[in-house]
Amino acid sequence: MAELSNCSKCGRLFVKLSTRDVCESCHQEEERQFERVYAFLRKRENRTATMAQVVEATGVEEKLIIKWIRAGRLQLVHFPNLGYPCDSCGAMIREGRLCAKCLGQLQADLRRAEGEKEKEARSRRATYYTQDYQER
């Protein structure tokens, strides 16, 4: 169901759809900018452009280009020098949400936490508690 929200760009009130986080006029401006970026990248000589080169040539914010990459509107298989930042450390990646280093660290942390949980469960099973029922 649609809800009212403020546009993240201009602050106007609009009916928020699940696919958009900006009002209609800002969405149309984003579409014009997308067409500019896509037209630039479609040219054979620009397919190997880096993010900085695309931003400089088109005047479109890097943040917006990253939004389109994450949404799947710009597919990185066609553009070998483009990427987006890892959610954890900010290193440039081409797939997923985390770089290999952060993903490995997260998996190691999960294994360590699971091991500690298992160790705690084993120690709890081996511990016996008694009550002293002596009469006083």
Task: Please name the residues in contact with 99: beta carbons below 8 A apart, sequence gap of 6 or more.
Answer: 86, 88, 89, 91, 93
* Residue 61: Cβ-neighbour burial (10 angstroms; 0-12, 13-18, 19+): exposed
> Which tokens go with 123?
């120690």
Count, residues in the chain: 136
Mean pLDDT in consecutive groups of 10 residues from the start of the chain, 136 residues: 83 83 90 95 92 94 92 89 91 91 95 88 67 64
3-6 and 13-16: which strand pairing? antiparallel
Q: What are phi and psi of 34, to 5 degrees?
A: -60, -45
pTM: 0.73
